[in-house]
Amino acid sequence: MIWNRKHLLDLQSLSAEEIIHVLDTAREFKAVGQRSIKKVPALRGKTVVNLFVEPSTRTRISFELAALRLSADVINFSAEASSLKKGETLKDTARNLEALNADIIILRHGASGAPHFLSRFLGAHVLNAGDGAHEHPTQGLLDVFTIREKKGKVEGLNVTILGDILYSRVARSNIWALTKLGAKVTLCGPPTLVPKSFESFAPNVRVTWNVDEALRDADVINLLRIQHERQKASMFPSTGEYAALFGLNTARLAKVKPDALIMHPGPINRGVEIASSIADGPQSVILEQVTNGLAVRMAALYLVHGGASLQVAA
């Protein structure tokens, strides 16, 4: 398998083979992270720009460290302290960064499709670090990486995604990656946040509003935070009621498979979507997801940098 994509914009357009190739590459980068010298010269002399128009801490830090561990130079650009506040368009900002010879631009943006837009006119490689409610490809990849590592496979597993699906780019990227690799996906949460129409997304996706039923056969439970910042109206009465009806508490955990993985992309809201003791419990792989995210982002940067317009060397 030879990766020849110039950008990583979404998981919807990737083949199962390409997804597996990223995961296999990430496995070797995870091993690099366990060495005493955690840095390799794969992107030496390259410039990576973190263009974060929407605020983020964990994804930005993860991408920054990934680029540093590949020996690239990294510039962080955040909307609060930038010319975007002064009325500059995204296109002009990106062109200015390219004029500084940026090789890779990592974009986080509130508008769906913003990375695709940049990729149409930039010579630099573009990585999507989350665009609106559309996709968050590296999060989807790190989630399937974690599942594959813990369960040994993805195919045939029952994966339940519980929470705010409607506003979640993480849910969408997960749905694409999981179904392409042969998992069965159950979406659950309040009806206002989990529309039935998601069943037409991909084969092997089903929607249920019954939590106990959604959790019963799950091999993996991926909990999503309520995206208050994206909701334009009040989608449910109170966080207290959400916690009571849809939160993963010890009573609900007692009824799930004893070896079910508990995942969460973070930041977690303890006592809302997940009980504190479960977040810190033996089934939780939340912190391993963070470790794996670094490896997956190193793999994405490495592969994308080699992609497109370059010849396959003899």
Kindly list the residues in this chain that would bind another protein in the complex (CB under 8 A): 1-4, 21, 24-25, 28-29, 31, 35, 37, 40-42, 302-303, 305-307, 310-314
Closer of 2 and 254 to another protein (Cβ): 2
Closer of 108 and 305 to another protein (Cβ): 305
| Least separation in angstroms between CB 103 and another protein | 10
Closer of 106 and 223 to another protein (Cβ): 106
| Least separation in angstroms between CB 35 and another protein | 7
Q: What is the per-residue DSSP string for the chain?
A: -----S-B--STTS-HHHHHHHHHHHHHHHHHHTSSS----TTTT-EEEEEESS--SHHHHHHHHHHHHTT-EEEEEEGGGSGGGGT--HHHHHHHHHHTT-SEEEEEESSTTHHHHHHHH-SSEEEEEEETTTB-HHHHHHHHHHHHHHHS--TT-EEEEES--TT-HHHHHHHHHHHHTT-EEEEES-TTTS-GGGGGSSTTEEEES-HHHHHHT-SEEEE----TTT-SS--SS-HHHHHHHH-B-HHHHTTS-TT-EEE--S---BTTTB-HHHHTSTTB-HHHHHHHHHHHHHHHHHHHHH-SSSPPP-
CA distance 114 to 119: 9
CB atoms within 10 A of CB 107: 27
Closer of 38 and 216 to another protein (Cβ): 38
| Least separation in angstroms between CB 61 and another protein | 22
| Least separation in angstroms between CB 44 and another protein | 9
The residue written with tokens 């010849």 in the block is 311
| Least separation in angstroms between CB 20 and another protein | 12
Would you state the structure tokens that stand for residue 250, as one six-digit string?
């010890």
| Least separation in angstroms between CB 115 and another protein | 20
Closer of 70 and 224 to another protein (Cβ): 70
Closer of 103 and 131 to another protein (Cβ): 103
Closer of 29 and 242 to another protein (Cβ): 29
| Least separation in angstroms between CB 183 and another protein | 25
